[in-house]
Amino acid sequence: MKKWLLLFIAVIPAIVWAAPAEDLAALGRQYIDERCKFYPVWATSVGIHTYDSCLTDYSAESIYRYRNVLADIGARLQDIDTLQLSVDDKIDYRLLQANLDYDNFNLLKYPIHAYSPAVYVEDALNSLYYLMLDNTMPRQQRDYFLIIRLRRFPVFFRNAGEYLTECPLIYYETAVETARDGLLLVDDIINELIKTYPDSVGILAQTRTLAKEAINTFKIACENGIDYAQGTPAIGKQNYNYLLKNVHFISMDSDSLKKIGQRWYRISNAAMDSLKNIIATLPPENDSAIIAPDTFDVDDIMAYYQWEINQAAQFLKDNDIVSIPDDIGACIPIQMPSFMQATHRGIAYEPPPAFAADQTGYFYVRPIPPLDSIAKNRYYRQVINRTFKGSVVHEAYPGHHLQLSLANRHRSDIRKIQGDLFFCEGWALYCEQMTAEQGYYSDQELARRWNAIWGGIRFRAVRVIVDCSIHDGTMTPDSALVFMNAMLGDHTDYYIAEIRRYCANPTTASSYLIGKLMILDILDKAKKRDGKEFSLKKFHDSILAEGTIPPILIAKKLGY
């Protein structure tokens, strides 16, 4: 009898402990399902295909319903006894609350769908593109959803015109360029479908016409709207600081971030100045005597990119810098789709969907132009000089691909959907410096690579200043462009795309440098705490195991 009594007493705390954790997990699952229902394109992007035939309904009724759901989840979240949660569950609790706050911010505090026509163009095109990337869905099922979404474009874009109010100029311009290139995406998809289903050419041709007319009509409306554009993309200092505090758990305000950006601009500038004399003594990188073979083509360039990705992963394994699972998904380089180039002129990364069986990630590289003799020789010299080597550590290994692939393995669904950019972009920027310090580059490469690393830091420092200044209203997009050209050199076309992204995604541009500095702070504390027992690999593994969450939560979890 005593044994049974003791067992009963021992089990009670476990039951009490489990109940709040189970309630939290259930709320997390409900939130994910409701978010998928409201943002069906986001659902496709994370590998949930329940709503693949739908597009986002931004009507007042739909938003009202979703916000009521968020309020209900929030109220039940408050009822959970956090004292009975484990450390990990307490983190999930805070993350879920931050997700609720962020969704409410985007729908109420600063309803971007009411100000930016680009939201609708990007939503529509991404609804197709994420389906095209899916390699696990049966082909016929995927193609069915593509056709259904394309045929929803007319109503979707017609409604968009009713939901938009005061649209700043920069959002009109972004929408026009994205829509123009999006027409090509529709053509590519329909042409591919016609090859697969030649007997359905009639319905597919009609679908093409409906979708392209919808996009083009919306594009023309945006072109006409340029003359009547009003308002500012600034969300305001108060709203910006709200995002820092409530979404990213950062106690600093935008003024403090600006000062950090200014300081690191000066530091990086000085570092680059000190390297000039060394670099001046080096032989030129682009030896004009190096001529590409006649057979050198785009496939060779893409094969080189893939080889460089594989080399970076092998370096990390050989030098015991971070753990890489044997079954990690592939990281495949592909050329940047044209419809993304309105806001991305450089390189980027598309992570594997959090809930998909296929964990392939895609490394977007700059589009390769037609290879005339001049371009062919230029690309061949880049291959010979391994100029892609530095990009790989940011986007692939040990940067985004490794980090986000590991995040998808977390046991918690709440963790899987996180994408905190202060950790994500901070980690990638940290990797640029860390790999150089760990011997990734040869002695002959070091001076130029350190110059590039400091150049990257300087660029991110300017990003912080511009991001904070645009959103507190002390810079306009035009003055931000002048500022970036003055601080970094004249690259107008590139900066235009950058500034479009900063306007639409407040705090994103600040996340790179600020996130890196937060990681370096955690690293410094880990070294001091562990002393001679410190292991860089163990440190990397421990922070990456937490998912893509705010660095401050990682620091608290690990006791730093």
pLDDT tens-digit readout, 270-319: 999 999 999 999 988 767 778 999 999 999 999 999 999 999 999 999 99
Residue 333, strand partner residues:
363
Structure tokens at 426: 């901070």
> Across residues 93-110, what is the average pLDDT?
98
**For position 13, what pLDDT does the model report?**
47
**For position 45, what pLDDT does the model report?**
98
Structure tokens at 152: 């929803």
Query: pTM for the complete prediction?
Result: 0.94
Q: How far apart are CA 181 and CA 219, in angstroms?
A: 11
**For position 3, what pLDDT does the model report?**
52
SS3 readout for 28-62: HHHHHHHHHHHCHHHHHHCCCCCCCCCCCCCCHHH
Identity of residue 189: I
Q: Report which secondary-structure segment, H or E, holds 180.
A: helix 169-196
> Across residues 436-457, what is the average pLDDT?
96
**For position 15, what pLDDT does the model report?**
43
Q: Tokens 């990681």, residue?
A: 519
Evaluate if residue 152 carries a pLDDT over 70.
Answer: yes
Structure tokens at 145: 């959803």
Structure tokens at 517: 């500095």
Structure tokens at 371: 């290879």
Q: How far apart are CA 488 and CA 502, in angstroms?
A: 17
Closest CA to 421 of 496, 363, 351: 351
Q: What is the pLDDT of residues 35-64, one digit of tens each?
A: 999 999 999 999 999 999 999 999 999 999
Burial of 488 (0-12, 13-18, 19+ CB in 10 A): middle
Q: What is the pLDDT of residues 317-353, one digit of tens each?
A: 999 999 999 999 999 999 999 888 878 888 999 999 9
**What angle do the packed helices 443-472 and 254-280 form, to 10 degrees?**
150
What value does the CA radius of gyration of the chain take, rounded to a whole number of Å? 25
Question: What percent of the chain is predicted at pLDDT more than 90?
Answer: 92
Q: Tokens 């995406």, residue?
A: 185
Q: What is the pLDDT of residues 355-402, one digit of tens each?
A: 999 999 999 999 999 999 999 999 999 999 999 999 999 999 999 999
Q: Which residues are CB-contacts of 423 (< 8 A; sequence separation ≥ 6)?
A: 515, 518, 519, 548, 549, 550, 551, 554
Evaluate if residue 5 carries a pLDDT over 60.
Answer: no
Evaluate if residue 132 carries a pLDDT over 70.
Answer: yes
Closest CA to 409 of 312, 314, 518, 326: 326
Look over the chain and give the mean of its residue pLDDT values, rounded to a whole number.
95
> Across residues 391-420, what is the average pLDDT?
98
Q: How far apart are CA 348 and CA 326, in angstroms?
A: 24
Residue 332, strand partner residues:
362
pLDDT band for position 6 (cuts 50, 70, 90): very low
Evaluate if residue 7 carries a pLDDT over 90.
Answer: no
* Domain ranges across the chain: 2-228, 240-558
**Contact call for residues 104 and 198 (beta carbons, < 8 A):** no
Residue 331, strand partner residues:
361
* Half-sphere CA count of 24, side-chain side, radius 13 A: 27
Reported in sequence order, the residue ranges of 260-368 that DSSP labels E, i.e. its strands, are 331-335, 348-350, 361-365
- Please report, to the nearest 10 degrees, the dihedral formed by the alpha carbons of residues 127, 102, 546, 450 taken in order: 80
Burial of 246 (0-12, 13-18, 19+ CB in 10 A): middle
**For position 18, what pLDDT does the model report?**
57
| Number of residues in the chain | 560
Q: What is the pLDDT of residues 113-129, one digit of tens each?
A: 999 999 999 999 999 99
Q: Report which secondary-structure segment, H or E, holds 509.
A: helix 508-530
pLDDT band for position 17 (cuts 50, 70, 90): very low
Parallel, antiparallel, or unpaired: how do β-strands 361-365 and 331-335 relate? Answer: parallel
> Across residues 393-413, what is the average pLDDT?
98
**Contact call for residues 422 and 371 (beta carbons, < 8 A):** no
Q: How far apart are CA 127 and CA 113, in angstroms?
A: 16
